[in-house]
Amino acid sequence: MNWLSEQELLSKQPIISSWFLEHVQQDVLHSKEGIKLAYAFYIPDNAKQAIVISAGRVESYLKYDALFYELAQRGIAVFSCDHRGQGLSQRISPNRMHGHILDFATYRDDLAEFIQEIVQPRFAQPWLLCHSMGSAIGLMLVQQQPSWFAKVALTAPMLGLKAPLPEWLTKLVLALGLMGSNLLQKPLYFLGQKAYLPEPFADNKLTHSQTRYDIFRQQQQAFPETQLGGVTYAWVAAAIQALYTLEKQAPHTDIPLLCISAGADKIVDNKAQQRIVNLMPNASWHSIDGAYHELLFETDVYRNATLDAVMTFFEE
């Protein structure tokens, strides 16, 4: 399959941005709690199948404009909803830079509402494409509603956290941080986390592609409301609980699933990832050697291999 190369992307990005603004439907879904969830979708003429994208932490559907465009050229409908607290969706902490949640089940329920209200009236059983944190959210929904999706593909899924501290010290810091948050009655950044600050490309651990990295940072400057900082103590505690539950339920998760791991990932725990995927009876795990975490925004060799594997799996 021919995907946009970095060189093509440089020349076509203005065209893609204009196409996205003109043709992709963007709107807001009000959750049952009244939280505003921003979403987007595009349905090509005669589309027979759809992909739902569950994006990673800090991401917005705006970041996926090129992938929307590429999939549209292949006659595939695309849907994506920004998770609450990030992207263009409503923030839930008084500090809008906080990556914050009390329970990952809230993310799952938001995604479920989006599927029921926006996707299912148009496509009964779409494919689900998840990245990083979006994989944990997507899997939680799959475990709750296994019949909703035909197949699931995960790219660099967050199925285990890479802690910067020894486990015992992480637990101590987390307990103290949660205590402080409760006493002050407000979310607090986890140790070492801070407000949004764009990293120079040379310091980034996400991608080898300066082209795609620069485009992402330019989008964040053009849409400052999508900027997000680090995570809170509550987010870390919620993530740990969610990943424990995902692993416990993994042997009962029998949907056809493909996990693509970034071989040189510095963000998530690939060992935990492989362990959990191996527990699933109908899942396969594949590593892209040398790739960084952002498999869908990597250099051509890594991105093409990822997307080829995903689409071959979906369409076979």
Query: pLDDT (tens digit, 9 = 90+) per residue, 146-174?
Result: 999 999 999 999 999 988 788 899 999 99
pLDDT at 1 over 70: no
pLDDT averaged over every residue in the chain: 97
> What mean pLDDT comes out for the span 4-17?
97
pLDDT value of residue 93? 97
Comparing CA positions, the residue from 153, 76, 77 lying closest to residue 307 is 153
pLDDT at 135 over 90: yes
Query: pLDDT (tens digit, 9 = 90+) per residue, 19-49?
Result: 999 999 999 999 999 999 999 999 999 999 9
What percent of the chain stands above pLDDT 90? 97
Separation of alpha carbons 251 and 225, rounded Å: 40
Token pair listed for 19: 């196409």
Query: pLDDT (tens digit, 9 = 90+) per residue, 273-295?
Result: 999 999 999 999 999 999 999 99
Beta carbons of 5 and 300 less than 8 angstroms apart: yes
Query: pLDDT (tens digit, 9 = 90+) per residue, 70-104?
Result: 999 999 999 999 999 999 999 999 999 999 999 99
Q: How many CB atoms within 10 Å of residue 48?
A: 9
Helix (H) or strand (E) holding 262: strand 257-262
| Residue range 6-92+103-163+246-315, CATH number | 3.40.50.1820
**pTM of the predicted model, to two decimals?**
0.97
Distances from the Cα of 314 to the Cαs of 5, 42, 141, 240, 258, in angstroms? 22, 19, 19, 30, 9
Strand 25-30 with 36-42, pairing: antiparallel
Beta carbons of 72 and 149 less than 8 angstroms apart: no
pLDDT value of residue 161? 94
> What mean pLDDT comes out for the span 182-193?
97
pLDDT at 205 over 90: yes
Comparing CA positions, the residue from 4, 130, 122 lying closest to residue 72 is 4
